[in-house]
Chains A and B, each alone.
Chain A
């Protein structure tokens, strides 16, 4: 610590004075640093926002839920392999079989009929309005027991209604709001394709992940009895399954479901599964791998900004050293040692980039307020800390060579410098 001594404050004061005297030049120099720090702040807040709302959303499906499809779990990039596309579908019977496993509380099939036989969207109309954006799913009344959806008004359809092919449905909150903005949709009639349905219940509004709207909207959905859905799309038995484990039996349930499906789908011993099970946990970890990628991109972008800033700082510090050669000579003549001069210019460079970092934090913070308007987000503490430390560090690294040059100047030659 002897190296730093008491004149560190002195140097800081000096550096701030220099900065004040060269406002515009300093600002232009540190633009790269500002961009770097703003990037860190902004992307950190966006990632945090996506992360929190995604985690919240996924966890609302319950930690005991499994979503089973005939495709492999995880993110799919590009075309599916031929083997994957040719897999045989999961069936209604698979769902019924799974629901009887000892570790499983509920298992239901989902038959998606949003598109008709010809691949066209099935139109939904009611209350004088028509939409092609509503998600249509056929399932069993046991779905209510899975605990991921709550009925806000009316009731869920019954097993009896399913068995009797009755055209009843339960609508999501967005469907209720869109088609029946005034008054309750319960007992109203909705036309799906050419069939008329009676609404028996409205679901509780679900928290949205990021942006709302479109057919992916979790609330823009209509559930109808499985048998009725089969009738609307008679050619398809391609279902996805949802299974909920009994409390505390998630791991065993996963094993049992996997074993059962392997047997039922005749997977040879030693071959990989020809289906995929997603859990809340696996979804979150998949998601984290995506946000991790974004974070790496962020580090790259911001380090480019910081590097550009660093080179600018080095340049301006070299100019500053040349401009102040005489001053350096005077300081040496009255007793400044090499390390005193070295510290003076190092601290000046660090103050410069630190100032850039500070501006970056301020601008970045304002921008995160804007992000907050779009999605729930926060700025994790590490982002401003890392941004600021990185900018000061850049000043130190890129200021070293100019400061070293200054420190090594010969007193006589510097005093004679014009």
Chain B
């Protein structure tokens, strides 16, 4: 990236309008991003993974983010999921200004507001499916008995009631991803994020997972998923295309 790009970055927050949340009359805004930058300082040069991304997501939406490899999809998802903090810009999630939060507050948001699904599942290998799903509840401070109930229910919702005591290596890829989805949903987050959730699965299993997302969306969940497969993206209601850290296209298809 050139020096010029660095200079065009907004330096005063006065330019940015204070977002009005929640906006009365209009649809309920869940995510509001204003001019978001993510810069990696690689010593000699600065890598701008995102430069000035702004968009909104309303509650109940089903959004797919696509783009070529290295365009900044994962970087954006990590910011949305509060796993990472922006170098610059403003991010409001469910009425809270996330861009100004400290480590512990972000952990709290990740625990309560966000459910994250990864391409490689990221389950704890030594724990049973049930225990994996219970983990967010443990960090949420929910007592044992209630925790069990909630985890069992979440597993039942992804059709895994009969695999609760299995460890990840005793489950198929699709089943593992469903455990991960149950784990993401168990705390009833306001948003479900999935970074290439079908990337490690074969086609038919991918469709099963996509059907599950559809069902979850119909049940009222807000979903954002990253994919570079068109047929997967096409099942969402809205597609954002990213190229070189900028939004190239934002279209509603449903």
A331 to B122, CA, bound (A): 10
The residue in chain B whose Cβ has the minimal distance to the Cβ of A327 is B124
Q: Mark B157-184, 1 if CB is under 8 A from A, else 0.
A: 0000000000000000000000000010
**Contact of A333 with B139 in the complex, beta carbons under 8 Å:** no
Partner of B122, one of A7, A21, A333, A337: A333
- Chain A, interface SS category: helix
A333 to chain B, nearest CB (A): 6
Given contacts A21-B126, A326-B122, A412-B78, contact A336 B107 (CB under 8 A): yes
**Contact of B78 with A7 in the complex, beta carbons under 8 Å:** no
Given contacts A411-B83, A412-B83, A415-B83, contact A335 B126 (CB under 8 A): no
A10 in contact (CB, < 8 A): yes
The residue in chain A whose Cβ has the minimal distance to the Cβ of B136 is A334
**Contact of A337 with B141 in the complex, beta carbons under 8 Å:** no
- Point out the residues of chain A lying under 8 angstroms from B110, CB to CB: 332-335
A330 to B124, CA, bound (A): 8
Q: Mark B98-114, 1 if CB is under 8 A from A, else 0.
A: 00000110011011100
Using a Cβ–Cβ cut-off of 8 Å, how many residues does chain B contribute to the interface with A?
Answer: 27
- Point out the residues of chain B lying under 8 angstroms from A411, CB to CB: 83-84
B143 in contact (CB, < 8 A): yes
**Contact of A334 with B135 in the complex, beta carbons under 8 Å:** yes
- Point out the residues of chain A lying under 8 angstroms from B122, CB to CB: 326, 329-330, 333, 415
Q: Mark B65-107, 1 if CB is under 8 A from A, else 0.
A: 0000000000000100101100000000000000000011001
A348 to chain B, nearest CB (A): 13
Partner of A337, one of B103, B118, B143, B187: B103
B54 to chain A, nearest CB (A): 22
B156 to chain A, nearest CB (A): 20
A338 in contact (CB, < 8 A): yes
**Contact of B104 with A335 in the complex, beta carbons under 8 Å:** no
**Contact of B108 with A335 in the complex, beta carbons under 8 Å:** yes
B19 in contact (CB, < 8 A): no
A415 to B83, CA, bound (A): 10
The residue in chain A whose Cβ has the minimal distance to the Cβ of B187 is A335
**Contact of A335 with B112 in the complex, beta carbons under 8 Å:** yes
B116 in contact (CB, < 8 A): yes
**Contact of A7 with B138 in the complex, beta carbons under 8 Å:** yes
A7 to B104, CA, bound (A): 17
A340 to B137, CA, bound (A): 13
B140 in contact (CB, < 8 A): yes
Given contacts A326-B122, A415-B118, contact A331 B135 (CB under 8 A): yes
B169 to chain A, nearest CB (A): 14
**Contact of A10 with B83 in the complex, beta carbons under 8 Å:** no
The residue in chain B whose Cβ has the minimal distance to the Cβ of A334 is B136
The residue in chain B whose Cβ has the minimal distance to the Cβ of A338 is B103
Given contacts A335-B108, A336-B107, A337-B108, contact A412 B139 (CB under 8 A): no
A141 to B144, CA, bound (A): 82
**Contact of B139 with A335 in the complex, beta carbons under 8 Å:** yes
A241 to B93, CA, bound (A): 95
Given contacts A330-B124, A333-B110, A334-B111, contact A10 B138 (CB under 8 A): yes
**Contact of B135 with A412 in the complex, beta carbons under 8 Å:** no
**Contact of A335 with B107 in the complex, beta carbons under 8 Å:** yes
- Point out the residues of chain A lying under 8 angstroms from B83, CB to CB: 332-333, 411-412, 415
A188 in contact (CB, < 8 A): no
**Contact of B116 with A334 in the complex, beta carbons under 8 Å:** yes
- Point out the residues of chain A lying under 8 angstroms from B187, CB to CB: 335
Given contacts A17-B126, A415-B83, contact A6 B143 (CB under 8 A): yes
> For A17, A21, A332, which residue has the most chain B Cβ atoms within 10 angstroms?
A332
A336 to B116, CA, bound (A): 13
A17 to B123, CA, bound (A): 16
The residue in chain A whose Cβ has the minimal distance to the Cβ of B135 is A334
Q: Mark B179-198, 1 if CB is under 8 A from A, else 0.
A: 00001000100000000000
- Point out the residues of chain B lying under 8 angstroms from A6, CB to CB: 141, 143-144
Q: Mark A319-357, 1 if CB is under 8 A from B, else 0.
A: 000000011011111111111100000000000000000
A327 to B124, CA, bound (A): 7
A231 in contact (CB, < 8 A): no
Given contacts A412-B84, A415-B83, contact A332 B107 (CB under 8 A): yes
A334 to B47, CA, bound (A): 28
Partner of A335, one of B123, B140, B144: B140
- Point out the residues of chain B lying under 8 angstroms from A335, CB to CB: 107-108, 110-112, 136, 139-140, 187
Given contacts A326-B122, A327-B124, contact A340 B139 (CB under 8 A): yes
**Contact of B104 with A337 in the complex, beta carbons under 8 Å:** yes
- Point out the residues of chain B lying under 8 angstroms from A17, CB to CB: 126
The residue in chain A whose Cβ has the minimal distance to the Cβ of B84 is A412
The residue in chain B whose Cβ has the minimal distance to the Cβ of A411 is B83
> For B78, B110, B135, B139, which residue has the most chain A Cβ atoms within 10 angstroms?
B139
- Point out the residues of chain B lying under 8 angstroms from A330, CB to CB: 122-124
A5 in contact (CB, < 8 A): yes
* Extra 14 A-B pairs, beta carbons < 8 Å, given A330-B123, A334-B111: A6-B141, A6-B144, A7-B139, A330-B124, A332-B110, A333-B81, A334-B116, A334-B135, A334-B139, A335-B112, A336-B107, A336-B139, A337-B139, A338-B103
Enumerate the 9 nearest inter-chain pairs by beta-carbon distance, A residue then B residue, closest first.
A335-B111, A335-B139, A337-B107, A334-B136, A330-B122, A335-B110, A337-B104, A411-B83, A336-B139
Enumerate chain A interface residues (CB-CB to B < 8 A). Answer: 5-7, 10, 17, 21, 326-327, 329-340, 411-412, 415
Enumerate chain B interface residues (CB-CB to A < 8 A). Answer: 78, 81, 83-84, 103-104, 107-108, 110-112, 116, 118, 122-124, 126, 135-136, 138-141, 143-144, 183, 187
Q: What are 27 of the A-B contact pairs (CB < 8 Å)? A: A5-B141, A6-B141, A6-B143, A7-B138, A7-B141, A17-B126, A21-B126, A326-B122, A327-B124, A330-B122, A330-B124, A331-B135, A332-B107, A333-B116, A334-B135, A334-B136, A334-B139, A334-B183, A335-B110, A335-B139, A335-B140, A336-B139, A337-B104, A337-B139, A338-B107, A340-B139, A411-B83
